[in-house]
């Protein structure tokens, strides 16, 4: 059994849905897998035999999901940014991750577990950092009008 993780791995604190969340994320992203499931023993603090942690990997990045109880909740102050190559990839991830969650704005959403994601085209960073400040601002203005980002509309704003 391979339990190696990245040197730094996000540890996601769930009330009791760690296993369901890990399975959801692994099914949403290609090149992803569950690495290990660990269970609470008699020492607790969770019920003996219940899932304590799930180690998983998404696109080469390791994560840990912990069933830690209702002490903490997620905040949009931390999100996972996903750089997408195509509109099809944006559409697919947006649909899967926002289902039973919340669409926010500017490519942000909260999934059904409350975890925040930014689903963005790779070209967005390039366009927002264009040496022509007018072009960059046009793209920013277009982005601020959207929930799910549309490459065609961002490019239209860039080329105005």
pLDDT value for 44: 83
pLDDT value for 31: 94
Give yes or no for residue 3 having a pLDDT over 90: no
- pLDDT (tens digit per residue) in 83-133: 999 999 999 999 999 999 999 999 999 999 999 999 999 999 999 999 999
3-state helix/strand/coil string of 87-113:
HHHHHHHHHHHHCCCEECCCCEEECCC
Q: Which domains does the chain have, with CATH numbers?
A: 11-67 (3.30.720.100), 79-158 (3.10.180.10)
Distances 56 to 6, 41, 64 between C-alpha atoms, Å: 11, 21, 6
% the chain with pLDDT above 70: 97
d(CA 107, CA 68): 29
Give yes or no for residue 81 having a pLDDT over 90: yes
d(CA 116, CA 101): 10
Element (H, E) at 18: helix 18-28
Give yes or no for residue 2 having a pLDDT over 60: no
């Amino acid at each position: 059994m391979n339990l190696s993780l990245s040197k730094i791995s996000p540890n996601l604190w769930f009330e009791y849905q760690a296993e369901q969340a890990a399975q959801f994320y692994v099914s949403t992203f290609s090149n992803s897998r569950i690495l290990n499931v660990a269970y609470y023993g008699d020492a607790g603090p969770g019920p003996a035999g219940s899932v304590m942690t799930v180690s998983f990997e998404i696109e080469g990045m390791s994560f840990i999901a912990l069933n830690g109880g209702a002490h903490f909740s997620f905040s949009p102050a931390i999100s996972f940014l996903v750089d997408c190559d195509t509109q099809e990839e944006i559409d697919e991830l947006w649909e899967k991750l926002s289902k039973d969650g919340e669409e926010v704005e500017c490519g942000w959403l909260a999934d059904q577990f409350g975890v925040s994601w930014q689903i963005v085209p790779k070209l967005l960073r390039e366009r927002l950092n264009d040496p022509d400040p007018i072009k960059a601002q046009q793209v920013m203005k277009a982005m601020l009008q959207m929930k799910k980002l549309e490459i065609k509309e961002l490019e239209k704003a860039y080329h105005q």
